[in-house]
Amino acid sequence: DAKTTQPPSMDCAEGRAANLPCNHSTISGNEYVYWYRQIHSQGPQYIIHGLKNNETNEMASLIITEDRKSSTLILPHATLRDTAVYYCIVRDDNAGNMLTFGGGTRLMVKP
Partner 1 sequence: KAGVTQTPRYLIKTRGQQVTLSCSPISGHRSVSWYQQTPGQGLQFLFEYFSETQRNKGNFPGRFSGRQFSNSRSEMNVSTLELGDSALYLCASSLGEGMNTEAFFGQGTRLTVV
Q: Write the binding mask 52 to 81 for partner 1: x where contact by CB under 8 A, - elsewhere.
A: ------------------------------
Please give the sequence-ordered ranges of beta strands (E in DSSP) within the chain, or none if there are none: 9-13, 18-23, 33-38, 45-50, 55-56, 61-64, 70-75, 84-90, 105-110
* Rounded Cα distance, 104 and 88, in Å: 7
For partner 1, the binding residue among 67, 81, 98, 111 (CB under 8 A) is 98
Contact positions with partner 1 (CB under 8 A) in 8-27: none
From 52, 99, 106, 108, residue interacting with partner 1 (rule: CB under 8 A): 99
**Minimum CB–partner distance for residue 59 and partner 1 (Å):** 12
Q: Three-class SS of residue 12?
A: strand
Pick the closest to residue 85 from 111, 68, 106, 64 (CA basis). Answer: 106
Residue 13: CB minimum distance to partner 1, A? 28
**Residue ranges binding partner 1 (CB under 8 A):** 30, 32, 34, 38, 41-46, 49, 87, 91, 93, 95-104
